Amino acid sequence: MYASHRRFLYVPSVTRSLVLVLVLAACGAAHVAPTDSLRDVREGDVFGAETWRVPGLVEYIGFSGDDIVVATQGGAIARFGRDGTRHIVVEGALADVAGVAMQDDSLVMASDRIIRVDLRTGAASPVDLGHSAYALAVANGRAVIGEGREGPLRVIDIATGKVLTELEHSRGYVSPRIVGDWVLAGRDERAAGIWELATGKRHRAFAVGNATLYAMSPDRQLIATGNFFAASENAIDINRIDTGARTGTIRLSCSPDALAFAPASDRLAIACKDEIRIVKAPGGEQVAKLPGSRAHVRSLEWSPTGDLLALGGNDSILHVWRTDTWEPLTRVTGSRGEIREIKVTGRYLVAHSLAGNSAWLWVTDLVKPVIELGGVGREILTVEGDGNDVLVALMSSAGGEPRAVVERWRGVSRVAQAALPAARTGLPPLVRALGPIAGGGVWFTAEGRVTVLDADLRPRWTSPLTTDPKDPTAIGYGNAGATKNGAVIALHAGGKLSIVSGIERRLAASERYVGCGNTPPAVSPDGKRVALLDPKGIFVFDASTAKVIASRGVPTDDEDPRALAWSGDGELVALAGRLLVAWNVTANTAIVMPSAPSAITLAIDHDRIYFGRNDGTVARRSLSAMRRGAKPFPIATPAACEDEGGTMGLASFGRLGGSDAPRGRLDDAGAYDEPDPPIPGESGGTEAE
C-alpha cells in the first residue's frame, strides 16, 4: 500500500470504535463449530489458534523465499509459512514504526531511529545514517529517507551515510517506494510525485484525492490514484504516466484503503474494509471481487511471482489468497484484532476486539468458542457480564438510520433488546460503558452521564451532567466501572471522577481529576474504593467522597498497554507495559511479575487471570502460580503529568481533496509541497506528534 501515514494524530470515528457485533440468522444467533485451542506451554491455555495471527496492527507485508514476512506498527516481526504457521522473529524492536523496507535477509525499520533486524535470528542492530526517519524506502544499497512531516526526502548511500541527492519539491512527502530507477511518494491530499532516483528531479505529479492512495505499476507505465468522491461512490483512477491520460476508473461503494499492482503490471488490487476488487490494467475491467477483512486495511501486497495476494490491517490477521482460483488460504477462528476488553461472566468469557466487527463468546472450562458475536450493521460499543448473561451496547444501522441499542444475551439467545433515546446532540448516544443493577436493571454511560434502565430496558433515571454542556467532544466521554450489583458506579468524564448509586439513583460524590489519560475506573468488590491507572501510576479513591486516599508510582510509556482489575480479596492488579503489578492497598505492599507476552488487557476470575493479546488470542494463567516468581515492587510517588501544551488538532483538510478535487496529471510547474497552514488553536502551527 502506498499511502501517507498520519502519525501526528489518529482520530477514531464511530466506525472505528471498539467493535463487537452479533451475527443474527432468521432463527437467532449463528452458531460456529467449536475448534480446539492451541496449547502454549509458556503461557498455559491460549484461546484461539495463533495460525495466521499477527501480533499487532499490520504495517508491512513482504516476501522472503516461501515465507510471508509481516511487521507491525509496534515493532514486531513474524514469518508465516504458506499454511499459516507463525514464527515470531522479534517483538517490540521499535516503537511507533513509520517505515519498513526489506534488504536481503533483513528488515530495515524506521522511527525516531533506524534499525536492521535479521529475519533468521531476530538480532537487531542500529543503522547509522545520521538521521531518524519519518519515511523510508531501501533498494540496491540506497535509502530514501524523510526526517519529518515538513522535511524533504533525501537519497542516502547506506554504506557511507552520504546524502546523494535531495528530491525536489518533496517536503512532507511520505511512504516512498523505489521502483526501478524512480521514486514514488505522496503527500496528504496534495499529490503523488515521481522522481528520478539518481538526480532527484521530479518527473511527474498526479492528484491523489482525499484518501491519498497511489500505486505505480512495476513496468512504470501506469499510476493508480484516489480516492475521489462521485456522489455516494468512491473512485480510483488508472492513468498513463507518460501522457497523463486516464485509462480506467473503478467505482466502489466502500472507501478504499490500499492499492497494489501485480508484478506483471496487468492487474490492480483495491482493498477496503468491505471488499477487495481485482481489476485489469490499464482498463479497470473486473477480474474478481473478494470479501473484505471487516477492518481498516494498512498493507496490500502481491507475491513476487504474482501467485499470492496478501492483506493486513487493524484486525491483526494475515489474509492470503491464491490468485489463480482466488481461494483464501487464511482460516481463522476466534476474535479478530487487538483484544481491548475481556469480561468473565458465569461460565462464559467474552473477548471484545478492536477491529473486524467480531468478538467471541467462550466457555471458560472447555476453552472452546460457543458463538461468534459479529455481523454487518451491528457495531458493538461495549459489553459486560451479568451472571450467565451478557449485556451488549451496540450501534445498529439495520433499516437505514443508525440507532443505539442495548441487548441482553443468555448463552446464545437474545432475551431482551431496547433502542436508546437520542443524545442531546440529536444523534444516537455513544455508549462507553454499561453493567447490571440488582433486580434486573441496567446502567450505561454516555455524554458524561449515567442512565439507569429497568428490567425491561426502559429509561428510569439519568444523572446530572458531569461535563461542560458546551464541550462538543463530550459525546465520547464516560469511561466507567461499577460493582456487580450497580450500587457503586464510578464515572470518569470531563476531568471529574463522579460516584453514582445505580440502586438509589443519585449522584453521591464528584471531584475534579484530570490525570494523564487513564484506563476506565475499577471499583473494588466491596464498593468502598475506586482505582484509576494512568502513565504515571495508580490512584485509589474513597468511593464515598471521590477523593484520593492512596497512590503508587507505576511509570509506563504513553504507548504501553495499561489495564486494571481488583482481585477477589481486594488486591489491585495492574497491567503496565510488560509488567504485572499486584498491590495490597491496605498493607501498602506490592509485587511485580512478568505479564503474558503481547498482553494489552486483563480480567480476573478467582485464581484465573485472562490476558487479551494484540493478535486476537486470549491467554489464561494461574495468578497464584505467577506470584511464585514475583519480586517486591518498591514504593514510589507518581510523577506529575507533563503539560502537553497547545491543542491537538485534526489533520489538514481540503488541500487538493474533496468532491471538486483535481484528478489525473498535475501541472509540472507546480510545487505541491508548500507547508500546511497553521491549524486554528495550535501554538506555532505545528501538527501534534
- 283-317 pLDDT tens trace: 999 999 999 887 889 999 999 999 999 999 988 89
pLDDT, mean of residues 152-172: 93
Q: What is the CATH number of the domain that holds 595?
A: 2.130.10.10
User: Does 583 map to a domain?
Assistant: yes
The answer to whether 622 and 647 are in contact (CB under 8 A) is no
pLDDT of residue 436: 97
d(CA 97, CA 83): 27
Which position has the higher pLDDT, 16 or 336? 336
Identify which has the larger pLDDT, 513 or 476.
513
The pLDDT score that the predictor gives to residue 264 is 97
**Mean local confidence (pLDDT), 392-411:** 86
Give residue 85's pLDDT: 92
The confidence band for 675, taking pLDDT boundaries of 50, 70 and 90, is confident
- What pLDDT score was predicted for residue 484? 94
Q: Of 272, 228, 278, 227, which is closest to residue 254 (Cα–Cα)?
A: 272
Q: What is the pLDDT of residue 604?
A: 93
Domain count, the chain: 1
- Mean pLDDT computed over 154-168: 93
Q: What is the mean pLDDT of residues 420-445?
A: 91
Tell me, yes or no, if the pTM score tops 0.95: no
Q: Which domain holds residue 599?
A: 523-641
Give the residue-averaged pLDDT of 229-240: 82
Contact between 120 and 133 under an 8 Å Cβ cutoff? The reply is no
Predicted local distance difference test score (pLDDT) of residue 109: 93
Q: For 370-377, what is the mean pLDDT? A: 67
Q: What is the pLDDT of residues 72-92, one digit of tens each?
A: 999 999 999 999 999 999 988
pLDDT at residue 372, rounded to an integer: 66
Residue 358 domain-assigned?
no
Q: Is the pLDDT of residue 652 over 60?
A: no
pLDDT range class, residue 562, cuts 50, 70, 90: confident
Mean pLDDT, residues 197-221 taken together: 93
Q: Is residue 503 part of a domain?
A: no
Given this model, what pLDDT does residue 376 score?
A: 66
Residue 174: exposure state from Cβ atoms within 10 A (0-12, 13-18, ≥19) = buried
pLDDT of res. 655: 38
- Whether the per-residue pLDDT at 559 is higher than 90: the answer is no
Q: Answer yes or no: is 596 within a domain.
A: yes
* Least confidently predicted of 40-49, 351-360, 485-494: 40-49
Lowest mean pLDDT, pick from 91-105, 350-364, 537-551 = 350-364
Place of cell 502519525: 7
The answer to the question of residue 559 being in a domain is yes
Residue 175 domain-assigned? no
The CA distance from 242 to 255, in Å, is 28
User: Can you tell me the mean pLDDT for 577-590?
Assistant: 92
- The answer on pLDDT for 516 being more than 80 is no
**pLDDT at residue 663, rounded to an integer:** 87
Q: Is residue 385 part of a domain?
A: no
Q: Mean pLDDT lowest for which of 233-237, 315-319, 377-381, 630-634? A: 377-381
Which of 139-153, 362-376, 390-404, 425-439 has the lowest average pLDDT? 362-376
Provide the pLDDT for residue 367: 57
678 falls within a domain = no
User: Mean pLDDT over all residues of the chain?
Assistant: 82
- In this prediction, residue 681 has a pLDDT band, given cuts at 50, 70 and 90, of very low
Q: What is the pLDDT of residue 147?
A: 79
Residue 47: the pLDDT is 66
pLDDT band for 226, please (50, 70, 90 cuts): confident
Interval 86-118: pLDDT, tens: 999 998 899 889 899 999 899 999 988 899 999
Residue 645 has pLDDT above 50, yes or no: no
What pLDDT sits at residue 570? Answer: 85
Beta-carbon neighbour count of residue 77 at 10 Å?
28
The 3 state secondary structure assigned to 448-472 is CEEEEECCCCCEEEECCCCCCCCCH
Q: What is the pLDDT of residue 659?
A: 44
Residue 288: strand, helix, or coil? strand
Report whether 618 contacts 660 (CB < 8 A): no
At 28 the pLDDT is 30
More confident residue, 198 or 471: 198
* Mean local confidence (pLDDT), 419-446: 91
Residue 578's region, left for phi above 0, alpha for psi from -120 to 50, else beta, is alpha
Express each pLDDT in 7-53 by its tens digit.
Answer: 322 223 333 333 332 222 222 333 333 232 322 323 346 666 778 98
**Which has more confidence, 447 or 649?**
447
Instruction: Please give the pLDDT value at position 366.
Output: 47
Least confident of 77-81, 541-545, 572-576: 572-576
Highest mean pLDDT among 78-82, 143-147, 595-599: 78-82
Higher pLDDT pick, 468 / 28: 468
DSSP strand E in 364-520: where?
Answer: 368-374, 378-386, 389-396, 403-410, 413-419, 433-437, 441-446, 449-453, 459-462, 479-482, 489-493, 496-501, 506-512
The amino acid occupying position 498 is S
Query: What is the pLDDT at residue 345?
Result: 85
> Which amino acid is located at 102 in the chain?
M
